Amino acid sequence: MQVKICGITNSDDLKTCENHDPAFIGFINVKRSKRFRDVEEINELTNEMKNPKKAVLVLEPRTVDEVLDKTEKCGIKNVQLHSLAPDEICQIKNINVIRAIGIPEKIDDSKKNEIEEFARVCNCLLFDFEVSGKSGGTGKQIPLEVAEIAAETAKIINPDINLILAGGMNTERMKNEGKTIEKIFDYVDVNSGVENSPGIKNKSKISEFMMTCR
């Protein structure tokens, strides 16, 4: 199972993550996040990376130009978006776009339509638990049966799409449901599940999580 470790805020945690060789490492530039880092701080961290191609810039932009400006300043080619419509995403070129979609406890027709629209224009979707219309940073898990419906909805539209499961991911869930998750999703995204406190990672938790996923 491939892993994205998100919410990196400092050099020590970055080195710990890199030692375990995850597929992606995420840096959050969303001001409502407790793990927010500005573009200059993120640029300093990515300059320390052994493999900067693994860096993901997490944004909630108002415009396409904001995405292009910030990714250029950071030198990052992977972006995780918590905003922008499908037609706006189509304007983003030469950047790997991961579109986050908030998943409620029950998926209605409106949510299915949303998933389908983004599946048509993105090569990767990330499903996170939705609270008050916002996705990301909730620390809550999407029920697996609901996550599976979301995944199937995306795959019908785009069989080649990559899918990431986020939301309260931790070692316990991977031990209990990891085999099923691996059949449905290409990646899992972990953040608070490997922390001591927001933005401060725990080396032992990262090690245990990565070993469980492998």
Whether 135 has a pLDDT exceeding 70, the answer reads no
Whether 165 has a pLDDT exceeding 90, the answer reads yes
Would you place residue 140 in the very low, low, confident or very high pLDDT band (cuts 50, 70, 90)?
confident
The pLDDT value recorded for residue 130 is 87
The pLDDT value recorded for residue 132 is 66
The pLDDT value recorded for residue 131 is 74
Residue-range domains of the chain with CATH? 2-213 (3.20.20.70)
Asked if 151 and 157 touch (Cβ cutoff 8 Å), the reply is no
First and final C-alpha spacing in the chain = 6
Whether 41 has a pLDDT exceeding 80, the answer reads yes
Hey, which residues does 2 pair with through a beta bridge? 187
Neighbours of 80 (CB within 10 A): 28
The pLDDT value recorded for residue 199 is 95
Stated pTM of the model: 0.95
Closest CA to 78 of 99, 60, 50: 99
